Structure 1
Amino acid sequence: MALRVNGKVVTPAGVVRQGCVEVDGDRITAVAEYPSVRDGHWIVPGFVDMHTHGGGGHTFTTGDPDAARAAAAFHLGHGTTTLLASLVSSPFELMRAATAAYAPLVAEGVLAGIHFEGPYLSAQRCGAQNPEHLRDPSTEELAELIELGGGAVRMVTLAPEREGALAAVTLLTGHRVVAAIGHTDATYEQTRAAVAAGASVGTHLFNGMRPVHHREPGPVVALLEAPQVVCELVADGVHLHDGMLTFAVSAAGPERTALVTDAMAAAGMPDGEYELGGQAVTVAGGTARLARDGAIAGSTLTMAGALRHAVGAGLPIADVCRMLATTPARAIGLGDRVGALQAGLRADLVVLDDDLNVLQVMRAGSWVE
């Protein structure tokens, strides 16, 4: 059944005031401008979160399909219509089990894919990753996971300085799996080598990375300047100072920066004690930190919260929506299906009030309860 959603429509080209999105079935059929429309709500594309570990008290990190379904439903209620289920550094047995458990959810459309953040990461820059599980990249493990997933494995984050990393990048990209660089102590040159091999995403830029130095630019500068790399940013005011957030966007542009939540199970939940990858996490004042050393342990962010924070930091709403939907969709190979209010794409949209709070969410042409 055809329907029309009226309001201030945010398209990839900017804001269309007094317009509407026309939907038929599960597709957008038109985005039009109608001066007669006076509804003041914002109509923005459904959010695409390419990095989230859980939410609503549920986690993706244990490989439990019921928990994964519940976490996806929590984020859907906050406007995220497409997401990757991100795991943390784990034994290979858990990686296998999670791939087998989540592949049916990917086929069903509950998840857009699986993201392995680790275990092929730097011990020096592991952050909240469990150091017990860190190891060099294994093309044998990756090949087995890719085959087992049957297209479900969408992205793998690794540290390019580890032995075997460039071979792993080549394997991943050869199977159309995104190779991401993160939790790394790599030099500028090592990072550039990984990008040349096909790496195309920087995992939560600045966080878990060798810092910038004027005589050793490190991974941050190499990723920001690479035209084919999309840089993730966690816009929660904890992971990044707002000045660094706006600097990164000015350096790479909204077409190469993607806002992510990096959320854990505690997103949307009260302060208290939680768990991430077998490690105790304490959430206080909405900030998640490892109990053992105080390292930031993911976030309690939603994509709607990231939108409000980024706009509050001074970024234009049209740019922010691009970073919340269009850019991440393209980064994970889904830009021809989702990520924008554009005719022919899946009808995913979010209706926001003037304070940018979520009023309604539509996914595939149906309003979410």
Structure 2
Amino acid sequence: MDNHRSVVIKSNRIVFPDGIQAGYLMVQDGKISGFETHFSGECIDYSDRIIMPGFVDIHVHGWGRGSFAYKGNKDSLKWMSHDLVKVGVTSYLPTSGTMPHDFLEASLVDAADFIATATPVDGAEVIGIHMEGPYISEKHLGMQRPDCLQRPSIEGFDHFNKLAGQNIRLMTLAPELEGALDLIRHLRAHGITVSAGHTDATFAEVTAAVEAGLNHFTHAYSGMRGFHHRELGVVGALMYYQDTYAEVAKQSGITIKPEAFDLLYRLKRDRRMVLMSDCMGYVDFPEGYEFYHYLRKETFRIKQGQLEIVSDGGETRHICPCDYEAVKQLEMNFLDSVKNIVDRLDKGLVSVARIACENPSILAGAEDRKGTLCPGKDADILVLDDDLNLVDVYCRGLRQTQLSEV
């Protein structure tokens, strides 16, 4: 599909917000221009396939052969965009980590440049930046760096956002920190989503943050004060406040148990649940970098351009960044997470389209052009078979030929 011409896509199963319909999806100049139940002209025939919106990943540090959080340059974003389409992600917020100040500055500048120059040929679209930290709690660091924490500051954030070309769309912070409430009000006044994450806040402190404008929770359950019946903590707050969004990471059963996902979904339903990946892009870490993955019980390090993984039992394996088939096995991808939960959702693929496409597009401030197949939106389209394997992907109307590449 050429994104600069008019085309029509035919399918018996097109996923819209109000249900699945048979008919013809009209695309003009890379945008969805309409839907018809009858059409007699030339079309691309996907009659036996499923058509749905591309996934929007608002929390992804890296994927495949690129890691924005740890390499922080345009090449890392180029590889992320190139490889994310292979797992159904057509737009995303590259997500920073709590890293040294000068590294954050340089990575934001590079991200701004990539956003300004990338085209659909590059693959998944960067629609903004998610800053996870550096305004987080030392008590819930997870795999973040304790030596790079900063105090919440309006001036500090504005400096970051200026370097980022005003492209920061989501900020994860610990609302209990001094200065956080003022920053939350400032962020919301500028249309930026504020999320609680890596936080030891009490229920009362989260309540104050919600009143100030916080409306999202980063990787629900993980990196936050847990629930107690006398001190509900952050977990209790995200469950109690029905109008807040809550995101869950890849559904491998390792990060959170399936039952924990189901409990949260019963509270949030399609309206406020968000799926994301929180992937890292391990093979693009800097030379010599080493960290211990406390969930997987493995040590990751880059040696002579290759990823070395050593288990607690001493087993060692090496992954070459040039081997995408091996690289993609390192982390559960977005599409596989969808496959693991679709049968547990209220409305199957209609629910998937809400929690994996529409809701994250809202939080990214991109709901005017992402998240659904409604007229006026970008033609970010997934073509799936009955087992939800990718057949084709279109980004802004352009067919992504790299699906079959390595």
Same fold (TM over 0.5): yes
**Residue 222 of structure 2 is aligned to residue 204 of structure 1:** no
SS in 1 for 2:138: coil
| TM-score normalised by the chain length of structure 1 | 0.89
- How far has the Cα of 1:302 moved from its partner? 2.1
Q: Distance in 2 between matches of 1:132 and 1:25?
A: 48
Q: How many Å separate the matches in 2 of 1:358 and 1:366?
A: 15
Residues 2-151 of structure 1: matches in 2 within 5 Å? 2-7=6-11, 8-16=13-21, 18-33=22-37, 39-61=47-69, 62-108=71-117, 110-151=125-166
1:229 to 244, 259, 262: 244
Equivalent of residue 256 in structure 1, options 272, 280, 301: 272
Q: 1:162 aligns with which of 144, 163, 177?
A: 177
Q: 1:304 aligns with which of 325, 335, 339?
A: 335
- SS of the residue corresponding to residue 84 of structure 1 reads strand
- Give the distance between the partners of 1:342 and 1:216, measured in 2 at CA: 43
Question: Match of 1:280?
Answer: 291
Which range moved further: 103-112 or 163-172? 103-112
Give the drift of 1:239. Answer: 1.3
Distance across 1 between alignment mates of 2:258 and 2:174: 26
Q: Give me the whole-angstrom Cα distance separating, in 1, the residues matched to 2:86 and 2:234.
A: 35
Range that drifts further, 337-346 or 126-135? 126-135
> Following the alignment from structure 1 to structure 2, what is the Cα–Cα distance between the partners of residues 175 and 339?
22
Deviation per CA, 1:37-62, whole angstroms, max 9, x where unpaired? 88221111011000001111310013
In 1, the alpha carbon distance for the partners of 2:35 and 2:332 equals 30
| Partner amino acid, structure 1, of 2:196 | I
The counterpart of 2:359, out of the listed 296, 310, 327, is 327
Tell me by how many angstroms 1:174 deviates: 2.3
Q: Which residue type is aligned with residue 367 of structure 1?
A: R
Say if 2:109 and 2:165, in contact at 8 Å, map to a contact too.
no
Aligned to 2:376: 344
Superposed CA RMSD = 2.6
Query: Aligned partners of 2:149 and 2:298: how far apart in 1?
Result: 20
Distance 1:226 1:181 in 2: 13
Indicate how the Cα distance of structure 1 residues 282 and 105 shifts in structure 2: closer, same or farther if over 3 A, else same: same
Post-superposition offset of 1:261 = 0.3
The aligned amino acid for 1:301 is M
Computing the radius of gyration from Cα coordinates, the structure with the larger value is 2
How far, CA to CA, are the matches of 1:314 and 1:143 in structure 2?
Answer: 39
- Name the aligned partner's letter for residue 331 of structure 2: T
Distance between the aligned counterparts of 2:351 and 2:288, measured in 1?
Answer: 34
| TM-score, with structure 2 as normaliser | 0.81
Residue 107 of structure 1: how far off its partner (Å): 2.3
Number of residue pairs the alignment of both structures matches: 356
* CA distance in 1 between partners of 2:297 and 2:39 (Å): 46
Q: Contact 2:128–2:364 at 8 Å: present in 1 too? A: no
**Residue 172 in 1 paired to residue 187 in 2?**
yes
SS at match of 1:192: helix
CA contact (8 A) 1:92 1:141 kept: no
Deviation of 1:223 after TM superposition, in Å, equals: 2.1
Using the aligned pairs only, state the percent identity. 31
Retained in 2: the 8 A contact 1:130–1:279? Answer: no
> 1:140: Cα distance to partner?
2.1
Give, as a single letter, the amino acid of the residue that structure 2 aligns with 1:261. Answer: S
8 Å Cα contact 1:264/1:276 also seen in 2: no
Is the CA contact 2:6–2:26 (under 8 Å) kept in the aligned structure 1?
yes
The answer for unaligned runs of 5 or more in structure 2 is 119-124, 302-310, 312-329, 402-406
**Matched residue of 1:347: which SS?**
coil
Aligned partner letter, 1:81: T
For residues 136 and 83 of structure 1, the distance between their equivalents in structure 2, rounded to whole angstroms, comes to 27
Distance, in Å, in 1 between the alignment partners of 2:184 and 2:248 is 22
Between stretches 229-238 and 202-211, larger displacement belongs to: 229-238
Cα 1:55–1:147 change in 2 (3 A) is same
Give the unaligned 5+ runs of structure 1: none
Inter-partner Cα distance in structure 2 for 1:243 and 1:320 = 18
